[in-house]
Structure 1
C-alpha cells in the first residue's frame, strides 16, 4: 500500500540511533538462552509477549504511539534485528512492507504473518454501499485472527523450545480468554444497537465495526482517497461533513495517529453536533497491553452508541 502523503514522516534518524543501541543489543543475543522474537509493531509484539511470557524476549521495531507503520522506513538496526531473530511476527497485507523487504533476503527465517491468518469468515463481505474488493489489512481488530496468531506463536515457540511447549500453549489459551472479553462487548453492541451508522476518519477499525454489527456510512470516495494518500474530492468531504452535522450517525471513529487539517475538521464538526468521537489507533498506547487496549476500544464504542440520540 502506498505511503500516505498526509502522514507525518517518522523520525528515522533518531529511531535508528535508539535501535542501534536497543535492538541489536537484544535480538540475536543468546547469552540468556532465551528465544528472541521480533515484531513489526508493538501490537503484534504485545500478542507475542502474552504467549512468550518470561521464556522468550520480544522486541517491537515500532513502539512509538505516534509512528505510522504505513510510512515507516527501516534502518540498518531494524534489518539486523530481523536477521538475528529466532522468530518474526508481522502484520502483512501490505501494511508493514518494511519487514517484508527485509525478509526477502531471509527466506528461511521462521515467520508468522497475521494477514495470512485472517480467520474472520465474513472478512471479505461488503458493508452496505461499500465495495471492499480488497480485504482490510488492519487485522488486529479481528479477534479470531488475533487468536489464530497467538496459537501460531505458541506452536512456533514450542518448536524452538520443546521443554516449555506446555507453558506457551497455556499462555495462548489464557490470552484467548482475554479476547473473549472483547467479543462479549461487540456482541452486546450488535444486539443493543444493530446496524448503528458510524463514520470513520480512516477505515482501520473495519473488523471492530463488523463484530459490533455497525454500519460504516463513510463515503467510499473519502475512504479510498485517504487509503491511497490522495486528496478526497470536495463532494466526498462535503458528504462526510453533512453526515457528521446531522443526527443520522451515532459516532465518529477517529484515527488519533493520523491527524491533519481534514480529520481535525471532521472531529470538530462531530463534537459541535453532539456526535461522540471514538479514538482508535494503529499501535498500542503507552502503558497498556493488547487485550486491555482492544477491550477499551470495544467499550468506548459501546459507550458512544449508548449515548442518547
Structure 2
C-alpha cells in the first residue's frame, strides 16, 4: 500500500491561499488603469510558461517576437512546486499562459485559474489524448505526455497556433520556427525507436522511481516493469511497496534500474539493494530539463540523453544522434 502524507497537503493548501491573496492585493495596487494583459503599441506579447519543457518549446517557436517567462526552473518538480508571490505577478502580467494540464502542476494550475479573467491560458498537454492510470480507486489522466516525441510535435503545433492567435503579424516567423523544431522531433523519434531495439529483448524493461515514462515506453517498445511510486512524487513508498517492487525485479530479471533527477535517489537505491541489481550511474530526466549547459538543457537533448542512458545501461548498442542539417 502506498501512503500519501496528508499533513503536507494541508500545508500546501494554506501556503497557496496566502500566495493567491497576496498576488491579488499586489495586482490591485496597480494605478495605471490599464489591463495588465493588454499589448500596447510595439510591445512584444508577454508569454508565461509553467514547465521547463514548455519553456524550451515556446522559446524556440516564439523566438525574438515574444517576451517569455518560465516559472519552473531546471530541476524543479512540477508535482510539488509551491508558487511564490513573483509567480502571481508574472501570471497577472501575462498576455498568454501556457501550462501542461492533466494536473501535472496542481498548485500552479490553481493559481492560473485565479488569475485575471481577461488573461488567456491554454493547457498545451491536453491536445494529446492521455493514457489513464488508477489512483486511490479513481481513473486519472497521466500528465507526462511529452515522453513520446510524436506527442511533442502536436504540442509544439498547438503552441504555434496560440502564438499566432496572440500575435498574427508574426505568423510567418512562428510557422517557420515550429516547422524546424518538428522536423527535428520527427528525426529524433525515429532514432529512439532504432536505439531501443538494440537492447536485448530479455532486458528491455524500465524500472524507475515514479511512473513518468509510460508514454515513452509505449512509443518506443520498452515496457515499464515497475515503479516505486505512482504519478505524483508526493507519495511515500511503504516497506511493503519496496519489497514488492524488488521481488518483481528479481522475477523479471532486469539488470539495472533508474533514478530520476527531480526525486531523491535514496528511495530507488533501497530497491536496488533489496533486489540485488545495479542502479544506473546516470539519472533519467523526467519532469524537468537540466540546467543550462548540461546534456539535457533542451527537450530534444533530454530525449537523447535519456535514451543513451537506458540503452547503455541495459546492454544495447548506442549510436550517436545526427541532428537535422
For the criterion TM > 0.5, the same-fold answer is yes
Whether 1:54 and 2:59 are equivalent positions in the alignment is no
Residues 164 and 256 from structure 1, CA distance in 2 versus in 1: closer, same or farther, beyond 3 angstroms? same
DSSP-derived class of the 1:263 partner: helix
Alignment of 1:120-199 (within 5 A): 123-124=131-132, 133-189=139-195, 191-193=197-199, 196-199=204-207
1:76 aligns to 2:85 (yes or no): yes
Alignment correspondent of 1:280: 284
Q: How far 1:189 sits from its partner (Å)?
A: 4.2
Separation (CA, whole Å) in 2 of partners of 1:153 and 1:41: 14
User: 1:81: how far off?
Assistant: 0.7
Q: Which has the higher helix share?
A: 1
**Aligned 8 A contact 1:158 1:164 in 2:** yes
Contact kept, 8 Å, 1:284 with 1:290, in 2: the verdict is: yes
Structure 2 residue runs of 5 or longer lacking an equivalent are 28-35, 318-325
Taking only aligned residues, the RMSD between alpha carbons, in angstroms, comes to 3.6
Deviation at 1:247, TM superposition (A): 7.1
What is the DSSP-based 3-state SS (H/G/I as helix, E as strand, rest coil) of the residue aligned with 1:166? helix
Q: Which residue of 2 aligns with 1:88?
A: 97
Does 2:301 align with 1:297?
no
Quickly say closer, same or farther: Cα 1:78–1:32, change in 2 above 3 A.
Answer: farther
Residue equivalent to 2:271: 266
Q: Distance in 2 between matches of 1:50 and 1:137?
A: 22
1:104 lines up with 2:113 in the alignment: yes
Q: What number of residue pairs does the alignment pair up?
A: 283
Tell me the TM-score normalized by structure 1. 0.77
Conservation of the 8 A alpha-carbon contact between 2:49 and 2:99? yes
Distance 1:71 1:223, change over 3 A: closer
Name stretches of at least 5 consecutive residues in structure 1 with no aligned partner: none
Distance in 2 (CA, whole Å) between partners of 1:202 and 1:100 is 21
Deviation readout 1:208-261 (Å, 9 max, x if unpaired): 122121121216xx434x737444343321132345567711442322211053
- The 1:250–1:117 alpha-carbon spacing in structure 2 relative to 1, beyond 3 Å, is farther
Q: Deviations over 1:150-205 (max 9, x none)?
A: 11211121122222101101111111112123312332245444582221111112
Structure 2: distance between partners of 1:84 and 1:184:
40
